[in-house]
Every structure is written in C-alpha cells, then in structure tokens.
Amino acid sequence: MNRYNPEALVRKSQEARNQAYCPYSKFRVGAAVLTSNGTVFTGCNVENASYPLGLCAERTAISKAVSEGHTRFKAIAIARYFSIYKWTNNVSASTDTAIQQTVFMSSVLQFGSQWDVYLSKSDGSYKVMTVEELLPCSFGPDDLRATENTVGNSKL
C-alpha cells in the first residue's frame, strides 16, 4: 500500500478485528497502522484475565511496526463497535471508554500528532479525526523536551 488509501486501511483493520483474543469482554477490536513509507501493520486486542495486562489493538499494531524498525506514521484505522447514537450525535464516550482512548492516544502521541485516525463501523463507513481532536490536552514527548519548566518560582 504505497499510495495512501483510507478504505484499504479500514479494510485491513476490519480483517485484524477477526483475530482478536477477547474471551472475557467478547469485544473485538482491530487496527491497521500506515507507516510513512507505505507499509501497513495490523493488530488486534489481546485480553488477559488480569485486565491491565491486556493489549489494545492500536498498541499491538504500533508495537509490531516499531519492532520492525518503523517509527514514522501517516494514519491508523480502528475497527470496533461505535454506538450509532454517539457516532451521529457526537456524544462523548463513557468514562471507561475515555480512559481506554487516553491510553491508546498517549501511545500514538509517542510518534507524533500529525497523523489521521480512521474510526470505522462494520459496514466500512468511517469517520476521520486527528490525534489532536481525539486528545486535545495531551502530554507527550514534546512536553518532556521542554528546556525550562517552572512551577511558581521554582524550576523543575
């Protein structure tokens, strides 16, 4: 996939969703990440009985890419169930979903905020958002690189 094709990326994420290991939640998620050179890596959620040890699909796909030497990305497509009501009325997600999205988006931010996120439904339709739109008040590598941080009169 050398040419940027959102529909193909969405299809790859939907295919990856079929591989999900989710014996506890039965909630399948797939992701496909597009690197800057056009390579696509897919991932699915992998649950663990100890919930914090599970992996989300997005982190799995990014980890696969990084393990193969890729650290620059153009886009990611995510295939999961999105409530039709939330989708059409821009209603914010529940607290649990928001926390999961924050963990995922923090993982994405490690590699920059200038890439697109395609949120897809089962029928292949999708909504595109930017990393910044999904996590507007983020904390990432740029914050750690700040040369001078101050709190009150003391420097950190």
Query: Which residues carry out catalysis?
Result: 58
51 assigned to a ligand binding site: yes
**Best CA proximity match to 142, nearest among 110, 95, 106:** 110
| C-alpha 94 chain-centroid distance | 17
48 assigned to a ligand binding site: yes
149 assigned to a ligand binding site: no
153 assigned to a ligand binding site: no
What is the Cα–Cα distance from 36 to 49, expressed in whole angstroms?
35
65 assigned to a ligand binding site: no
49 assigned to a ligand binding site: yes
> Known binding site for substrate: residues?
45-51
